[in-house]
Structures are given as structure tokens and as C-alpha cells.
Amino acid sequence: MTISSAQALSVLTVPAFDDNYLWLIHDGIHAAVVDPGDAKPILAALREHGLKLTAILLTHHHADHIGGVPELLQHYPAPVFGPHNETIASVTRPVGEGSRVDVPGLDLRLSVLDVPGHTNGHIAYIRDVDGPEPWLFCGDTLFAGGCGRLFEGTPAQMISSLGKLAALPDATKVYCAHEYTLSNLRFARVVEPGNIALRSRVEVETGKREHNIPTVPSTIGLEKATNPFLRYREPEIVQQLINADMLKPGESSLAAFTALRLWKNNF
């Protein structure tokens, strides 16, 4: 059965630069990498685990997500999947909303969502949305406790993109691309001080970081309970925005999200 062999897949966390996570999905023999901003740590992890790279998956065009691709291709002639709406020289298999990716070398099928906002063509990859352990690789769109900056897209686009991700099952593991969690949660506490789930999350994640344990992956359920960028309609958050003079009473939820993102940019 496909399901039982798919469960043999696992995801290795490969830290890079100051706070990036590169994800290596593997079955003990073959591997696919998500957003290899740097080739060195990926080549080291492949060597250490005796894996052969058979696919490269990119979420968006920023250098910290694609910078390692040319060097990886020198070692492994892997196909490169990436957003059809962005120009990335190394991409050989452009994909977008509705695409299915049968990942070469692995018993792994991913579906693709367009999630513009951080960049105009940003995509996300999802495994097994109806299965026991859904996975989401969302690059710099949804973060643990936060969301990506709007470098190219609009707040309305980001709201719609985050809405697509929030609609995934609560158990979906969220493999985002940066360890920004504690600073995101510091902001979240200011904008929603009464959120009990958020308070306990801060304790849990702080404990992980004290022991240098990644706070990623998170889950969609946890993000829905604690991430202000999925909770911008909550009365307490709206009130905090009004108190901070970032929003006027009665303004739209688009205005609230926009104000929240702006506040975080300057936090």
C-alpha cells in the first residue's frame, strides 16, 4: 500500500546561515531538498545519511532559498521544481496552484498552492492532505507565530494565502524556512496578551530554544490558536491595534491585517 511506504518517509532539519531551515525529505536512500539556500550543509547531510539527491523543490526566488541549487546540480542531476510565476534560472519543472508533483526517487506526491504575498509567485507544497500526517512546506509565507514580510505582494494577497494554509487540517506539520519563532511570539504576546494558548506556547518554545532545539515544524492547529496573522479578526487583537493608534474603530479586517503587519515590521 502506498500509505505504509509513505510513512517510511521522514524529514531532516538542516540548519543554514543564521536562522534558515533547509528540509531534506528522504526514505533512507533517496532525498528531495526544499529551499536549499546553501549547498554545503545539504551535501554534508546527504553524505552523513548515505542519501542520493533526486529532486529539488523551491518555494520562491530569494537567495537564501535557492542559492545552493547550482552547486547541488554539479553533484546530482536532479530536476528542479519551482514557482511558475517567478523567474528562477535553475527551475526545470515550473509548478503552481493545482499542480501535482510526483517527487522523483521517492514515494511522495505533493500538491501545490499559490501563496503570493512575501513574493509574487511564492508557492507551497503539501503532502497527504487527507492522510494521517499531512505536511506543509511553506517557505517564507507562514512562520511559527508569524508570517513573511510583504516584499512584493499586498496585504490582501497575504490574507488569501494564509487563509489557504489555515484551511489545511489542524494536524498538518508546518515546515517553514526560518527560526523566527521567539521574536514572533514576543510580538504576538503584545497584540494578544489574554491568549492562554499563546502564553503556554511561549514557555514551550522558549524551553526548546534554551536547548537549541528547533521550534519548527509547528502545526496548523497551533498556528490557528496562537499566530496573530491568522487571528487578526480576534476582538482583543483589533482592540490592541486601536489602542496603539494603528487602527480606527470600525475599520475593515483588511485594514487590521495591514496594520498588524506594519506594526510587526517596526517592532
Q: What single DSSP character describes residue 178?
A: B
CA distance linking residue 256 with residue 204, whole number of Å: 28
26 labelled catalytic: no
Residues 139-168 that bind Zn ion (CB under 5 A): 140
62 labelled catalytic: yes
Residue ranges of E strands in 90-242? 93-95, 100-102, 109-114, 123-127, 135-139, 142-143, 146-147, 173-176, 218-219
Element (H, E) at 83: strand 80-83
130 labelled catalytic: no
Q: Are 264 and 245 in contact (CB under 8 A)?
A: no
Number of residues forming the site for Zn ion (CB under 5 A): 2
Give 124 or 238: the residue with its C-beta nearer to Fe ion: 124
Least CB distance to Fe ion at residue 163 (A): 21
Q: Are 73 and 90 in contact (CB under 8 A)?
A: yes
35 labelled catalytic: no
* Segment lying near Zn ion (by CB under 5 A), choices 58-66, 152-160, 165-173, 198-206: 58-66
Residues 83-142 that bind Zn ion (CB under 5 A): 140
Q: Which listed residue (26, 61, 62, 122) is catalytic? A: 62
140 labelled catalytic: yes
Q: How many CB atoms lie within 10 A of CB 40?
A: 12
Least CB distance to Zn ion at residue 54 (A): 25
Least CB distance to Fe ion at residue 218 (A): 16
* Segment lying near Fe ion (by CB under 5 A), choices 64-72, 84-92, 159-167, 217-225: 64-72
Least CB distance to Zn ion at residue 232 (A): 21
Residues 5-34 that bind Fe ion (CB under 5 A): none
**Interaction of residue 64 with Fe ion, rule CB under 5 A:** yes
Could you give the 3-state DSSP secondary structure of residue 89? Answer: coil
Q: In whole angstroms, how far apart are CA 155 and each of 15, 62, 147, 245, 254? A: 29, 19, 11, 19, 7
**Interaction of residue 62 with Zn ion, rule CB under 5 A:** yes
Q: Are 95 and 83 in contact (CB under 8 A)?
A: yes
CA 75 to chain centre: 27
**Interaction of residue 261 with Zn ion, rule CB under 5 A:** no
118 labelled catalytic: yes
61 labelled catalytic: no
Annotated catalytic residues are 60, 62, 64-65, 118, 140, 178
Site residues for Zn ion per CB under 5 A: 62, 140
